[in-house]
Amino acid sequence: MSANGVSFDYEATPVLREVDLTLSAGDVLGLVGDNGAGKSTLLWILSGRRKPTSGRVTHIGVRALGSQELQAPFDSTGRMLVEEALGPARRRLAALEAAAEAMASEDPEAAAAAEEDYNRHFADVVAHDDWNAEHNAEVVLDHLGLIKDGPEGPLLDQLTVEMSGGQRALLGLALTLIRRPEILLLDEPTNHLDDRGRELIIRTIREHPGVVVLATHDRDFLDETCTHIGDLIPGRPGIGIFRGNWTEYDRHRRHERALWEHRWRTETHEKARLEKAIDTGAREVSPGRARTDNDKISYNQAGARVERQIARRVRAARSRLEELEAEGVAKPPALLGFDAPLTRPPSTKRAPSGSEDDFHLKLRGVVVPDRIRVGSLTIRPGDTVVVTGPNGAGKSTLLSVLAGELAPESGEARIGQGARVAMLRQEQRWADPRKSANQLFEELHDGGVELEDLGLLSPEDADRPVGDLSVGQQRRVALALVVADPPEVLILDEPTNHLSVDLIEEVQDAIEATEGTVIVVTHDRRMVQRLEARHLVVEAGEVTELPRGRRPVEFA
């Protein structure tokens, strides 16, 4: 697969510029870059579902894109889409069977032609493992947690529009894997994955005989799967390709960034020196400059020669300055980041430590039928709590109870100390997607940090309608809105999903630094291993707390 001079504009705003890319069978390219850099857009263009503004994409083989959003008719069920995804395998098997029957022809020429067809179809069937297509589909659906019963019956029998965002994303990923394309394009494949699903995707990519291009925030996943890293930098044409995995590239890019900043600072200082030299030299040879008697004597003796030397130096300085301005190093773009408190510190008027009323959240004998059961759980001011568990185990239900959004059928769920609870959700829903991040932030702003100070969005993106932003940029807006009016208790549901790798690191720093109460639900191994926190595990609806310092087997 190759891309030549691919550019793309969104409503006259450049997203990609002059991207050149060539990939061969066995290459696994991991796309990285800040949110809004164009990773998803490039995947859509490579898939053929979106046309570039200029440039072209050529490929050999069938492309399939597993996108962040499932593209399906409103009246389709998961099972209907699985049957559709199995269609190519069934058609290849049917073609092979037809060729086998045609080989029995009494016409030698027809039999020979049928044999050629048979050999071609046989190679195609073997390459796609079509004889095992049905079994492989069951394995994929099982590992991604899609073969189970939901509240309304079997999940695959539900309409896709009635599924949660996470379920639709997993179904879209499953359909891509079931099709077994030669060119596999994956957009944020680790979002919503538990350990079993993650292992399946890693194994699939490693065994894939063709080309794989994926965009992901998951640092361990990039290390375990990629042969190349492609970095898209907003405002810079092209794509930087590095041979190696994420850890190797991260060392390389930090070194390159340091060199870039050093060269820019050096040239900036040189420009300032040249401008000063030009200004000083121009004054010294100015024809209108008044001269003292000593100057006149000196000038009569050697002044003309001195002024010629100064003029030459001025011309040389101007020439060098023009060269730097025309061909010098561009200023490195500001790195978007995050530096703000996630929560308010615990109140100084809180109940005495250790007392019955010293809590932010308390659950006692909580039961939500067919979802979760909690015997006893007390979360105190300043606690950091990590929640893990397989998909469908009841984590989202637990969060809804803790946030006060879902009342249990029995038991007690209380919020104490007058605390306000806020949640950063996996899916963003905007009451008015035409409003900009600046407008939404101002509506909540409590007079503390300003949106531009957070470094989460560029000034241009902060003024765009949130509905026009990328999924990752919308997640940044949601994070900014939490900081606009920090709560005492913050619940973060999969906070690393859709965020850039650098921002994930900074959010982790913010979690560690916060003085308030934070509850984090995550499948991100590095985050689980790094955070010093209480650890809750949700399995089959049962919520248990691990002893301090102990990790579940999958994160150990």
What pLDDT, in 10s, does the model give residues 495-537? 888 888 888 888 888 899 888 899 999 888 888 888 889 999 9
- What does CATH list as the number for 361-555? 3.40.50.300
Q: What's the DSSP call for residue 360?
A: S
Q: Name the token pair of 426.
A: 């996996």
Instruction: Please choose, from the candidates 550, 501, 490, 547, the residue with its C-alpha nearest in 3D space to the C-alpha of residue 524.
Output: 501
What mean pLDDT is predicted for residues 482-489? 87
Enter the pTM of the model.
0.74
Provide the CA 297 distance to its chain's centre, in angstroms: 73
Dihedral sign for Cα 397, 162, 65, 241, please.
Answer: negative
Q: What's the DSSP call for residue 279?
A: H
Three-state SS annotation for 149-200: EECCEEHHHCEHHHCCHHHHHHHHHHHHHHHCCCEEEEECCCCCCCHHHHHH
Is 60 exceeded by the pLDDT of residue 338? yes
Would you state the pLDDT for residue 56? 94
Q: Tell me which residue has tokens 């420009």.
A: 271
Would you state the pLDDT for residue 459? 85
Binned at pLDDT 50, 70 and 90, residue 333 comes out as low
What pLDDT, in 10s, does the model give residues 237-285? 899 999 999 999 999 988 988 998 999 999 999 889 988 888 887 666 5
Question: 290 or 509: whose pLDDT is higher?
Answer: 509
Give the integer Cα–Cα distance in Å for 154 and 179: 22
Give the integer Cα–Cα distance in Å for 544 and 387: 10
Instruction: Specify the range with the lowest mean pLDDT, choosing from 55-69, 86-100, 282-296, 486-500.
Output: 282-296
